[in-house]
Structure 1
Amino acid sequence: MEMQGSRHLAVTQQQAWDALNDPEVLKTCIPGCDKVEATAENQYAIGMAVKIGPVSARFAGKILLMDVQPPNSYTLHFEGQGGAAGFGKGNARVNLSPPVEGSGCELGYTAQAQVGGKIAQVGQRLVDGVAKSMAEDFFKRFDDEMQRRHPQAYAAEAALPPPSAANPLKEHTGKHMPWWAWGVFAAVVVVALLLLVR
């Protein structure tokens, strides 16, 4: 399966980069996650619980960051095992860039993943639905965490005048998601992390 998405963030590119590389932020934002630990440079161990239809399992996995170009992008390789529930593996490309207009930054991702075992047998629609829901949950939690850590960035963006019809700014709702995105791991980074449970 392949997924891609993007989201506008009110924080600066550097602030977003730092958060996406902070194990505590990821642990807070990934649904069901109870462990994100650095095991070596650009390597992490992750643990999370997930329920997809009748299949519930705890997944343990690892993430390796490659082609790291701070604060712009990296490629994330991941694999996870959920015992009898199955496995997931894949990779994701995460990009941060300045917005075309306004403040904050843009987060974009593309991801490919492969799943097997009982999770793969519950049906692609159900798996895709759970993944999309987890991605949306990740981004909401990530926005909430960034607002908690950087309230001034969100206050400054809220004070900006609304976009004109002739030159609209990208919406800040983050609902540009076919997926994760967690992430990569979501997230996600963000998207890749979320695909781990698949």
Structure 2
Amino acid sequence: MQMSDTRQIAATPSEVYAALLSPDVLKACVPGATEVTGSPEDGFEATVTQKVGPVKATFKGKVTLSEMLENQSLTISGEGKGGAAGFAKGGAEVRMAEVDGGTELSYDVEAKVGGKLAQLGSRIIDGFAKKMADQFFTNLQEALEGPANSEGEAEMEDAPKKGWLGRLTGKE
């Protein structure tokens, strides 16, 4: 399964790049992640619980970062084993470009599964992989920009938002 997309994020390329290197941000962004530990240099260990169709599994695996060009691009690769459910592996090539108002983030994702998961059929797997990738990058965007305002929310539209960097540093 392969897919590509582009997003506009209201943060500088250096903030986006730093977020992608943070285990805390990765844990918050990966859907179903219960644990992410490690470092960009040594790789990350991750535990993720997901339900794909009728199959629910906890995957334990490793995530590595490579081809890192600071504030410009990096490649994320991951592989996890889910016991009897099978395995999942994949990666994303992520590129960042400075644009007015922040960063244009574009990515190409590839995912593969095996075992019981592969028996679910490509439509279920492809839909699930697309949903996971979309959710990861939506969560990343919200971590950097702060949660999007929904209609009817009491918060004022022009109130400053704090993303993960602002919460960590206490700055807006």
CA distance, structure 2, for counterparts of residue 31 and residue 8 of structure 1: 20
CA distance, structure 1, for counterparts of residue 98 and residue 116 of structure 2: 41
Are residues 1:72 and 2:75 paired? no
Q: CA deviation at 1:42?
A: 4.3
What secondary structure sits across from 1:11 in the alignment? coil
Q: Which residue of 1 aligns with 2:19?
A: 19
CA distance, structure 1, for counterparts of residue 133 and residue 111 of structure 2: 14
Letter in 1 for 2:138: K
Residue pairs, 1:54-133, within 5 angstroms: 54-99=54-99, 102-133=100-131
Q: Which residue of 1 aligns with 2:140?
A: 142
1:132-161 deviations in whole A, cap 9, x for unaligned? 222332233222221239xxxx9699xxxx
Distance change >3 Å, CA 155–CA 94, structure 1 → 2: farther
| 1:61–1:81 Cα contact (<8 Å) kept | yes
Q: Which residue of 2 aligns with 1:41?
A: 41
CA distance, structure 2, for counterparts of residue 64 and residue 41 of structure 1: 8
Letter in 2 for 1:93: E
User: RMSD of aligned C-alpha atoms?
Assistant: 2.4
Q: CA deviation at 1:84?
A: 0.6
Distance change >3 Å, CA 155–CA 9, structure 1 → 2: farther
Structure 2 residue runs without a partner (length 5+): 148-156, 161-172
What secondary structure sits across from 1:98 in the alignment? strand
Q: CA deviation at 1:108?
A: 0.9
Distance change >3 Å, CA 77–CA 140, structure 1 → 2: closer
CA distance, structure 2, for counterparts of residue 64 and residue 74 of structure 1: 10
Bigger strand fraction: 2
- Name the TM-score, length of structure 2 as normaliser: 0.79
What secondary structure sits across from 1:50 in the alignment? strand
Residue pairs, 1:181-192, within 5 angstroms: none
Q: Which residue of 2 aligns with 1:167?
A: none
The percent of aligned pairs where both chains have the same amino acid is: 40
| 1:39–1:45 Cα contact (<8 Å) kept | no
Structure 1 residue runs without a partner (length 5+): 158-198
CA distance, structure 1, for counterparts of residue 67 and residue 133 of structure 2: 24
Distance change >3 Å, CA 75–CA 138, structure 1 → 2: closer
| 2:40–2:64 Cα contact (<8 Å) kept | no
Letter in 1 for 2:74: Y
Q: CA deviation at 1:6?
A: 1.3
Higher relative contact order (CA 8 A, sep 6+): 1
- Name the TM-score, length of structure 1 as normaliser: 0.69
| 1:42–1:66 Cα contact (<8 Å) kept | no
| 1:65–1:75 Cα contact (<8 Å) kept | yes
What secondary structure sits across from 1:71 in the alignment? coil
